[in-house]
Amino acid sequence: MAAGDRDHRSRSGAPEPGFERRIGLFQATAINMSQMCGIGPFVTIPLMVTAFGGPQAVIGFVAGAVLALADGLIWAELGASLPGAGGSYVYLRQAYQYRTGKLMPFLFVWTAMLFIPLAMATGVIGFVQYLGYLWPGMTQTQGDVTGLVFIAVVVALLWRRVENIARITAVLWAVMLLSIILVIIAAFSHFSPHLAFTYPAHAFAVTTNHFWLGFAAGLTIGIYDYGGYNTAAYMGAEIKDPGRTLPRAIVWSIFGIMTVYLLLQIGTLGVVDWHEMLDPNSTAGSSVASAVLERTWGRRAADAVTVLILVTAFASVFTGLLGGSRVPYDAAREKVFFRPFGTLHPRHRFPVLPLVTMGIIGAIGFLIGRHTDLNTLIQLLTTVMVIVQALSQVLAATVLRRRQPGLRRPYRMWLYPLPSVVAAVGWIVIYGYADRSSPGRHPIEWSLVWVAAGCVAFVLWAAYEKVWPFGPREISEEYLDSSAAGTDPEDEPGTTEPAQA
């Protein structure tokens, strides 16, 4: 450490009430898959086709799966060894505390308070798009109001104990799977190989800049669709046997959704001419799954499955807000974010202010997306996520192996460090091409502005709290200490044992 720095290592007072471990493997996988699938592929298949300019768009889903799996293995190792509420917040706090104090976890929470609600907003936009199939005369204002009411209902339903939520999630997951399976069966019952596998000229011209621009845009859309494989990790303090449950839930959900996505993408392209998807105002462009059902099984079947898709959209927003609201809670509880965010509901034991705040930000993001376009919202939330969370977490896995070699690791990343390298390259490609994938919207610049504002907020907050760089650097190695003692650090929230520098 630099000359003049001094470490402050302490153990806090009496433990405060925390979360209870009630979520098992099935429910954790259901939470991940509900958030991964949701409305995503139903609204992004036309975006993917537009990005690639043809049915070769399936490449985007394959590339997204590879990146999700590589990054998922990082999440699996970190989640198994550091099973606290907040996911990335915990991992970045542990890895970067030695040099930059609380800066990285603070910035993560700062950005998460934006990109998680924006991701939820895309699900609400998808809900309104498919509702438009059943309500063709819906005006812009009516759609806006519907989306805002939708968000309010989700927040109201999350106002309860987590075990009740887990049961609701399992039901929503079943509806999600049913809707996807019905679309896939309908598509392959009238499948045309000519439509699905007839590619435009130069579709695979990998030496051209056009191909790689489409690939970068498709990779962004793909990882957005797979996003959610880490949702259960945000609820690490509520997972039973997290050392075994979290890695399995992450890997199983990625492979399961990858299979579903490929079948859905190929089946859809075998029914709907990809040229029709280029028009966002057409049924194929705004509600492509409904178009598949209408052309295969008729209008009544299309209406019925559209209702299931609406429930699926609800499930994705519901589980996303459920997991995301845990992020600022743990940060505030550890005095790394604004303290009011660290209060649980006295009866139902859920974080109140994070839930309400993310609901409000999600509503604002929904209105922004409604009055620009869905691709803009995806690019904005992805760039903000990449610059602080994704790339920093790739490095965090290596930093923790060096800084805390004695940490108990029930799961160790397969083929280390290959997944870290693949994930880093994928995230850099997404970030580097963001402005070109969304011309005129400047997602890179906006992400830098948001992070810069977070740095300013951190300086002001650190000065008020008198922590590094305005006070002693605090080193909290509670997971390392609990590994040696054979205990779970979540049994004693916010505590640390003295450790050597």
Confidence of residue 349 (pLDDT cuts 50, 70, 90): low
Q: State the greatest distance between any 2 C-alpha atoms of the chain, in Å, as a whole number.
A: 74
Cβ distance 172 to 34 under 8 Å?
A: yes
Euclidean distance between CA atoms 31 and 321, whole angstroms: 11
Cβ distance 321 to 151 under 8 Å?
A: no
- Lowest mean pLDDT: which of 176-190, 244-258, 313-327? 313-327
Q: Is the peptide bond before 469 cis (omega within 30 degrees of 0)?
A: yes
Q: Is the dihedral of CA 240, 235, 225, 36 positive or negative?
A: positive
pLDDT of residue 483: 58
DSSP secondary-structure letter at 202? T
Euclidean distance between CA atoms 256 and 234, whole angstroms: 20
Euclidean distance between CA atoms 316 and 173, whole angstroms: 9
Q: Where are the strands (E) in 98-242, listed by range?
A: none
Euclidean distance between CA atoms 123 and 18, whole angstroms: 30
Q: Is it the case that residue 235 has pLDDT exceeding 60?
A: yes
Q: Is it the case that residue 9 has pLDDT exceeding 60?
A: no
Cβ distance 364 to 160 under 8 Å?
A: no
What is the average per-residue pLDDT within 335-356?
78
Euclidean distance between CA atoms 123 and 147, whole angstroms: 10
Q: What is the mean pLDDT of the chain?
A: 85
pLDDT of residue 237: 79
Euclidean distance between CA atoms 95 and 246, whole angstroms: 20
pLDDT of residue 22: 77
Structure-block tokens of residue 300: 């009544």
Strand partners, 297: none
- % of the chain exceeding 90 in pLDDT: 48
Strand partners, 52: none
DSSP 23-89: B-HHHHHHHHHHHHSTTHHHHHHHHHHHHHTSGGGHHHHHHHHHHHHHHHHHHHHHHHHS--BTTHH
The radius of gyration computed from the CA coordinates of the chain, to the nearest angstrom, equals 22
For residues 440 and 269, the model is more confident at 269
Structure-block tokens of residue 326: 């845990």
Euclidean distance between CA atoms 277 and 50, whole angstroms: 7
Confidence of residue 317 (pLDDT cuts 50, 70, 90): confident
Q: Is it the case that residue 18 has pLDDT exceeding 70?
A: no
Structure-block tokens of residue 314: 């609800």
pLDDT digits 0-9 by tens, 175-209: 878 888 999 999 999 999 999 999 998 889 888 88
Euclidean distance between CA atoms 221 and 375, whole angstroms: 8
pLDDT of residue 331: 78
Q: Is it the case that residue 131 has pLDDT exceeding 90?
A: yes
Q: Which residue has the tokens 């997971």?
A: 479
Cβ distance 348 to 107 under 8 Å?
A: no
Euclidean distance between CA atoms 284 and 186, whole angstroms: 15
pLDDT of residue 396: 95
pLDDT digits 0-9 by tens, 139-149: 989 999 999 99
For residues 46 and 327, the model is more confident at 46
Domains and CATH numbers, the chain: 19-471 (1.20.1740.10)
pLDDT of residue 160: 65
For residues 492 and 334, the model is more confident at 334
What is the average per-residue pLDDT within 316-322?
79
Euclidean distance between CA atoms 278 and 247, whole angstroms: 38
Euclidean distance between CA atoms 234 and 133, whole angstroms: 34
Euclidean distance between CA atoms 448 and 304, whole angstroms: 44
Confidence of residue 19 (pLDDT cuts 50, 70, 90): low
Phi, psi angle pair for 235, to nearest 5°:
-105, 30
pLDDT of residue 165: 61
Q: Is it the case that residue 420 has pLDDT exceeding 60?
A: yes
Cβ distance 185 to 46 under 8 Å?
A: no
What is the average per-residue pLDDT within 419-448?
93
What is the average per-residue pLDDT within 421-439?
93
Phi, psi angle pair for 23, to nearest 5°:
-100, 120
Confidence of residue 76 (pLDDT cuts 50, 70, 90): very high
Q: Is the dihedral of CA 428, 429, 435, 441 positive or negative?
A: negative
Strand partners, 235: 85
Give me the amino acid identity at 465: E
Q: Is it the case that residue 484 has pLDDT exceeding 60?
A: no
